[in-house]
Structure 1
Amino acid sequence: MKNRINAALLLTLALTMSVHAFELSSHDIKDGQFMSKQQEFKGFGCDGDNLSPHLRWQDAPKQTKSFAITAYDPDAPTGSGWWHWQVVDIPSTVESLGSGVGTAKNTGLPEGAKQIKNDYGNTSFGGACPPKGHGVHRYQFTIHALGVAKLPLPDAPSSALVGYMINANSLASKTIEALYKKD
């Protein structure tokens, strides 16, 4: 009898979770597929359009007070990966960002959202630019639902500190892992 009750509780929990699963989608990038030249950096020997991809999310946890977006290349030959984009303090009422909003002027970002300096040294989106002949790199675009309205960050924080604070305040996250390669 006890096993049947436990099984029923687990089934109920699984059904509840599947109905409200945090989701991330994009018109521009797809999980496990190569990105276009639009998401390639312009500079460092790359000549892409350097456009941040469209991102849309839904079914965030009810306790969400803000969102953060990160774009990270774990395959960069640095010993610590490469941060391409970090946006914090996105209001909880926002559910998408359009293509190309990650500019240095912040004109397309929601009010209150803040971009962090990336590993190119820019406070904007920095597209893919793996070393020529280095093979396929993975680019992890992640939306984080946070339990705080504003991350407690100092002025000009490092990407590592931002990542730490995002993870310390994360309620849920979802990732699209896109690919890029330069021959």
Structure 2
Amino acid sequence: MTWNPYENLPAAASFSLTSSDLREGEKLAIPQVSGVFGAGGEDVSPQLSWSGFPPGTQSFVVTMCDPEAPTVTGFWHWAVVNIPANVTELPAGAGDESGSGLPPGAFQLPNDARMKRYVGAGPPEGTGKHRYIFAVLALAAEKVEIDPEATPALLMFNLFNGTLGRAFLEGWYER
């Protein structure tokens, strides 16, 4: 059974999310696959660009999750908060340990592996094809007031009513 962690959230406008490293519905390339989880990849976050977000957007959040992870709640691979409204792109590799490609003021929360960085696709062997959902959320607030050690789940809880729009890009990986 597949599910989408965003389907039960309040309605929000849609906008466009694209990448020079990933195409909708296609297999993730080795740079976006996990080395941390032994999948033979490089843990390089993909280039992401977004446009057409709602008027009134004050900031953005970027996340990546695997809803097919063999857990009750899926697995959060990446969460970036407080991207200013005038930033509409993250370069490839922005999610490294130092956040070197992130704009001033933005930061990464610890993912479900408790690392403040992008961790690529690394489904356990034999668990089938996993979807990896990249999302950009357009927010009405200029900043998300959240502890830098908070989880992506707490982030999403805090954004339940403050999201103006959402954009998605989905890839997959299997091993």
TM-score, length of structure 2 as denominator length: 0.89
Q: What are the equivalent positions in structure 2 for 1:85-104 lying under 5 Å apart? A: 85-104=78-97
Aligned-residue CA RMSD in angstroms? 1.3
Question: What one-letter code is carried by the residue in structure 2 that aligns with 1:162?
Answer: L
Distance in 2 (alpha carbons) for counterparts of 1:50 and 1:167: 29
Displacement after TM superposition at 1:155 (Å):
4.1
2:109 paired residue number: 116
Tell me which protein shows more helix as a share of its residues. 1
| Inter-partner Cα distance in structure 2 for 1:180 and 1:21 | 25
> What is the aligned partner in structure 2 of residue 4 from structure 1?
none
AA matched with 2:50: W
Q: Distance in 2 between matches of 1:98 and 1:178?
A: 18
Verify the 8 A CA contact 1:41 1:47 in the aligned structure 2: yes
Q: Is the 8 A contact 2:32 2:42 kept in 1?
A: yes
Residue 21 of structure 1 deviates from its aligned partner by 5.9
Does the CA-based 8 Å contact 1:140-1:177 persist in structure 2? Answer: yes
Unaligned 5+ segments in structure 2 are 1-12
Residue identity in the other structure for 2:104: E
Corresponding residue of 2:47: 54
For 2:139, the equivalent position in structure 1 comes to 146
The higher relative CO (CA closer than 8 Å, separation ≥ 6) is in: 2
Distance 1:32 1:166 in 2: 26
CA contact (8 A) 1:144 1:166 kept: no
- 1-side partners of 2:149 and 2:61: how far apart? 16
Query: Corresponding residue for 1:22?
Result: 15
Structure 1-normalised TM-score?
0.85
Q: State how 1:55-74 maps to structure 2 within 5 Å.
A: 55-74=48-67
Larger radius of gyration: 1
1:157 shift after superposition: 1.1
